[in-house]
Amino acid sequence: MSRLLRGFAVPALEDIALWHERDISHSSVERVMWPDAFHLAHYMTKIMIKVMSGLVVNADKMMEDIDITKGLLFSGRVLITLVEKEGVSREDAYAIAQSNAMRCWNEKVPLLELLKSDPRITKMTHSELESLFDLGYYLKHIDEVFSRFPELAAAVPSK
């Protein structure tokens, strides 16, 4: 459905070039396109509301799934921090992050443990490395986001 809705952008954009020449070629397209687009968007919104209203979030399972990664999900932040704090090139930071991520994946060793023992990381302390593995960094604006949707915020258990 989203592809169909996106597809309505093409005739709408093609009409723009001829706005100064209002004729039947515009209205024939618009008489079909606009009602269909809005009906489809309305239907998609109703379906989304139905799905979201029945959504059950299992926070324990989510944390379990995060823990299974052994810290791999933080590798992007590690990469950026290696460039910023270690002062290495992006290519070198990528090599460090990638080699440790691959070892983490293959050997099931926590990424943080591998980074702490990597001799190529010389300027960052262990506590600085540990701070990169804080989920709070990614959730720091969650209250602000939910405040935009009061009906959703009421359904979310507090921290």
pLDDT digits (tens, 9 = 90+) for 16-36: 777 677 777 677 888 899 999
Task: Assess whether pLDDT exceeds 80 at residue 46.
Answer: yes
Residue 40 lies in a domain: yes
Residue 39 lies in a domain: yes
Give the pLDDT score at 159. Answer: 54
Residue 19 lies in a domain: yes
Distance of CA 81 to the CA centre of its chain: 19
| Mean of pLDDT values over 96-103 | 97
Q: What is the per-residue pLDDT across 59-82, written as a single tens digit (0 to 9) for each?
A: 999 999 999 999 999 999 999 999
Greater confidence (145 vs 92) lies with: 92
Least confident span in 26-30, 52-56, 155-159: 155-159
Helix or strand run (H / E) with residue 150: helix 150-153
- Mean pLDDT score of the chain, rounded to an integer? 90
Measured CA to CA in angstroms, residue 85 lies from 51, 71, 81, 134 at distances of 44, 20, 6, 17
| Mean of pLDDT values over 35-48 | 96
| CATH number, domain containing residue 78 | 1.10.40.30
HSE toward the beta carbon, residue 98, CA cutoff 13 A: 6
Give the pLDDT score at 154. Answer: 67
What residue numbers bound the domain in which 129 lies?
65-138
Give the pLDDT score at 54. Answer: 84
HSE toward the beta carbon, residue 15, CA cutoff 13 A: 17
Exposed (0-12), middle (13-18) or buried (19+): which is 75, by Cβ within 10 Å? buried
Q: Please tell me the total number of residues recorded for the chain in this structure.
A: 159
- The whole-angstrom separation of Cα 98 and Cα 104 is 10
| Mean of pLDDT values over 86-97 | 95
Give the pLDDT score at 138. Answer: 93
Residue 148 lies in a domain: no
